[in-house]
Structure 1
Amino acid sequence: MSFEFLVPVSNLVVAHTETLSEHTLGKQIRIHTTEDGFPDLEKTNIAILGIRENRNEVNFSGEELNFDNIRKSLYELYPGNWSTNIVDLGDVVPGNEVSDTYYLVREVLSGLLKKDIIPVILGGSQDLVYAQYRSFDVLERMVNLVNIDSKFDLGNSSQSITNISYVSKIIVEQPYNLFNYSNIGYQTYFNAQEEIDLIEKLYFDAYRLGEVIADITIAEPIMRDADLVSLDLGAINSLSLSGLVSSPNGFDGREICAISRYAGISDKVKSFGIYEFKNFKNETTTTLLIAQIIWYFIEGVNYRSNELNIRELKSTLHYNVPVENEILSFYKSAMTGRWWIEIPFISSGNNKLQRHTLLPCTYNDYERACNQEIPERWYKAKRKNEV
């Protein structure tokens, strides 16, 4: 494993941690330090990892990233009633080429995935999601990517990868492991109509900012079906992120923390990345919000209900709803009240797809089916299975 290339958490942050209360997160996280070396990963649930790479940002100005203030803000917080074991692995520093950084990130994240440890990534430019996604190759199964972003970041796959074009690389490059891409919070005026049409053509899911703000619970079933989650800080409005280049419109602090908690509470999410961080002066508000986003993700992980095999639990309620020429099969958890809908599995010889035959949904989807409306996400997932 490539952990030996990771740079320890800075001595300034470690010294700051010494001044904190014994009950803070900083005193409970096992930290990779210069003095103590690399922490033991036995029984670890979550690993924090900084990636100081930003050279493929389209507006790269040459700045070097530093996550010290985010770490200080996070370490100062108090944990909930958690049983989660957390380590901070330190940082990946940029390699000679960006491709070298991608390789190292992929190796580190693959090693964590194999150990069933969830990486929480503090990243520079969002093209790093490509390496985050490729780390799943070791699991040899299809992957669902959820991107919390004002833009789709599709770009042109024939050109060099950037922080606004990495999704097209994920779609077209082998091995083809992407089953679904979902965007939460896109803003129409930031996306070309051709890209919006392509999302629809590929049967991907996209939810406009206003739609999600009006009902934040829309994000829950999307996250419940995600393997990896990427958050572009530009999806947060400029009032909530002082100093970062973001739009006047976007999620506020409460909304983004709720979405982060949905990601954490999902039994399936195995990797969570926060990208597009920039260094600037007077960044206290921003670093504290990022720390709270991480806090809510960890909170969610701590309250996972282990319902991946919901169909096999004796307490699960099952409903069949005839709609047009289909019989829609719904499952409801007796423990959490969450809903799923079954997608007919097309036997194509592709065993990677079998895990996608249950699709998280909402009670509203069930109600609409009872009123003879086929849920749009069910239709899209079914079409993807048929392709």
Structure 2
Amino acid sequence: MSLELLLPVEEMAVAHTALQSDLSLGKKIKLHTKKDGIPDLEGIQLAIVGIPESRGAVDNIGAGKGLDVIRKYLYQMFPGNWHASIADLGNIPAGNETGDSYFLIQEVLGELLEQKITPIIIGGSQDITYANYRAYDRIGKPVNIVSVDNRFDIGEMDPLLNSRNYLHYIVMDKPNNLFNYSNIGFQTFFNSQEEIDLMDKLHFEAYRLGGVTNDITTVEPILRDADIVSLDLGAVRMSDAPANNNAVPNGFYGDQICAIARYAGISRKLSSFGIYEYNSKFDQRQHTAHLIAQTIWYFIEGFNLRIDEYPFSSKENYKKYIVLVDDQTINFYKSDKSERWWMEIDFVHNNLEKSTLIPCTYQDYLTANNQILPERWLKTFRKLN
């Protein structure tokens, strides 16, 4: 079993936990310690995994060190009215070569996914997302990735996989299980026009920072449709997350990144969540480590608020709204439980007519009523047909 190769949680973090209240999160989490070994995973739903691999980092060498500080802040927090069982499995050791690390990461995460345990990854450089994606090869189903980042990281097919070209590898490598990629928070001046045009050509979704920050709730349907969420700390403004050599003045505020994490946690489809590019040598007063701990807390909070909705329950229980746009009929569904919206797309696969629901917003419904096809509907329709 690949899990046997995991390194225990750092002694400093374990010792700090012993000083905390019995009601603290650190006392509720099952820890992989040097003394007790890997905890029994029976019934575990969430597993924290540290990955200090950073040889693929571009201009951020040293990312992934100091994970014990993040754990220290996380363990001293108090849980909400949570039901999910959590384990901290410690760290995945770095291999002799980056390829060895990717393989081990893929094996560990794949094993957790097979056990229906959602990994919470603390990186390391963001190219780890590629290994996370490859872990889904075991499951053999299409994968949707959402990246919270100021760049697309599609880069060039350089011989060496890195944090600025990992998406290129995901798109080009076989087997290709990627169905959709969405970027939340890109900043135009960090992405060439060619890359922006390529995103559109591939029918991927990209949401500019300004448009998202005006109404952070617009990201919820995007995250609701994700299997993997990869969060680059470069998406957070330097004043809120300085521990990244690529930090820039503009980006999400700390409370906004926590809200995004909460939406990710709420999504019943999402099965892995990662935060990358933390570099402790730039962390003034451990400011960023504390923010990452809060971001993880909000993800876990969202996870504990999950409810059974489509595709985990029948759409017949929803209110149905039929909208005719030109010659195209779109069925919208509104949940009585959460008041969230979905829209239906008809397509042909192997000469068979099929349909699927994708998450949307009330605004998409209003857009259709104004005789305009919603952008998310169009991109998915083109991809399926």
TM-score by length of 1: 0.96
Partner of 1:287: 289
**Backbone CA RMSD of aligned residues:** 1.7
Secondary structure class of the residue paired with 1:378: helix
- Give the distance between the partners of 1:190 and 1:153, measured in 2 at CA: 10
CA displacement at 1:350 relative to structure 2: 11
Shift of the alpha carbon at 1:315? 2.7
Q: Following superposition of structure 1 onto structure 2, how do residues 255-274 of structure 1 map, counting pairs within 5 Å? A: 255-274=256-275
Post-superposition offset of 1:282: 3.3
Aligned to 1:127: 127
Q: Counterparts of 1:1-387 in structure 2 under 5 Å?
A: 1-59=1-59, 61=61, 65-245=65-245, 246-280=247-281, 282-309=284-311, 312-348=314-350, 357-386=356-385
Q: Is the 8 A contact 1:123 1:274 kept in 2?
A: yes
- Check whether the contact 2:321–2:331 (CA below 8 A) recurs between aligned residues: yes
Query: CA 1:107–1:349 in structure 2 vs 1: closer, same or farther (change >3 Å)?
Result: farther
Going from structure 1 to structure 2, the CA distance change for 1:64 and 1:243 (only over 3 Å counts) comes to closer
Q: Which amino acid aligns with 1:127?
A: D
Query: Is the Cα–Cα contact under 8 Å of residues 63 and 124 in structure 2 kept in the other structure?
Result: no
User: In the aligned structure 2, how far is the partner of 1:228 from the partner of 1:284?
Assistant: 27
Give, in whole Å, the separation in 2 of the partners of 1:126 and 1:217.
25
The alpha-carbon distance between structure 1 residues 250 and 311, as it changes in their structure 2 partners (threshold 3 A), is same
| Structure 1 pair 179–233 and aligned structure 2 pair: CA distance change class (3 A) | same
Q: 1:373 to 1:68 in 2, by over 3 A?
A: same
Shift of 1:283: 4.1
- Name structure 1 gaps, 5 residues minimum: none
Gaps of 5+ in 2: none
Q: Is the 8 A contact 2:125 2:277 kept in 1?
A: yes
Identity between Structure 1 and Structure 2 (%)? 50
Distance 1:117 1:333 in 2: 27
Q: Tell me the distance in 2 between the aligned counterparts of 1:77 and 1:278.
A: 22
Give every structure 1 segment of 4 or more consecutive aligned residues whose post-TM-superposition deviation is greater than 3 Å: 60-64, 348-351
Paired residues of 1:94 and 1:101 also in contact (CA < 8 A): yes
How far off its partner does 1:138 sit?
Answer: 1.0
Q: Which amino acid aligns with 1:338?
A: R
**Paired residue secondary structure (2:348):** coil
1:313 deviation in Å?
A: 4.5
Please give the TM-score of this superposition, normalised by the length of structure 2.
0.96
- Amino acid aligned to 1:359: I
Structure 1 residues 311 and 369: CA distance shift in structure 2, 3 A: farther
Displacement of 1:66: 2.8
